[in-house]
Chains A and B, each alone.
Chain A
């Protein structure tokens, strides 16, 4: 199905309108482009089929924040996107989450956090849970068994054994400073072994050249 973001993809055709409206460029193709432009000015997402087209209204609420040099969907006090019929999307720093993580993070359970398959969402679940990482590690019965400074990135890493014997490598992303708790096999006993397992043995070839 062919789809277009409408008003949310308006940056795409700003390349055309800049030269037309700011620089005064006039081209015969602009007449055909007018339909595309109207669809973005007056409508939201659209899903196009040869026989029909579904067109969404523009959202009544659209919240973003700056991440680096770009805007990403973000709201900590409600949905990032809300349409007049009540349909809503929830985002934190560009990551799609659910209403509970945004509005009632303290009602999450350890089981929900542990079963979260997406690592970014899992990180947000932990960070927004009252007590954050300290609570997560305490409630999961985590015992630290290895800790070291990653020589490559000069950032701390820890390996924990949970109450049920599973292992979690808590690592720091060297770009963002965010922490992640990644599952590793029970036979892993050091941070270096964890790093090697997670990278299929390739990490030792990743040389630090900064």
Chain B
């Protein structure tokens, strides 16, 4: 397993790329409400597509042209969703609502979520919403993590 050295201690990188760790992470037991991270993206199984979801032109679940934004779905359908509709579904399944700037696209499984640097994730039949992590900038303004 790939490792990293932090302050003199060696740690396993349990989510390294398939090239290092052999295979995508398989989510055989993936229930509605479960969540998973891929870098700065949080994937939540929301059970059903938000109202008004429309098939997206891109397979990338978050907009951007940097290497870090290349979270790309293979094998499933990707949908544009409105923050309001996405939050309605989050509320329905008992998960916290999030600010509108953090809501990205949704995708259906079975699908694999790939990335040039993060471990890939294989999801079974499901509907998944991608949410950006947040942080504060130097002026203490809240914003989505960008990479």
Q: Which residues of A contact B (CB under 8 A)?
A: 67-70, 72, 94-96, 114-115, 117-120, 153-156, 166, 169, 172-177, 179, 182-186, 197-203, 205-207, 209-210
* Contact flag A172-B117 (CB < 8 Å), given A69-B19, A72-B67, A183-B137: no
Are A205 and B135 within 8 A (Cβ)?
no
Residue of B nearest to A91 (CB): B67
The 6 closest A-B pairs by CB, nearest first: A177-B4, A183-B136, A182-B135, A174-B15, A175-B118, A201-B96
Contacts of B111 in A (CB 8 A): none
* Contact flag A175-B15 (CB < 8 Å), given A120-B68, A209-B29: yes
Main secondary structure of the interface of B (DSSP, over half): loop
Are A184 and B136 within 8 A (Cβ)?
yes
Q: Tell which of B39-47, B54-62, B74-82 binds the partner.
A: B39-47
| Option from A117, A156, A182 in Cβ contact (under 8 Å) with B6 | A156
Minimum CB–CB distance from B94 to chain A (whole Å) comes to: 10
- Can you list 6 A-B contacts (CB < 8 A)? A70-B116, A95-B68, A118-B147, A154-B14, A174-B37, A177-B11
Contacts of B134 in A (CB 8 A): 197-198, 200
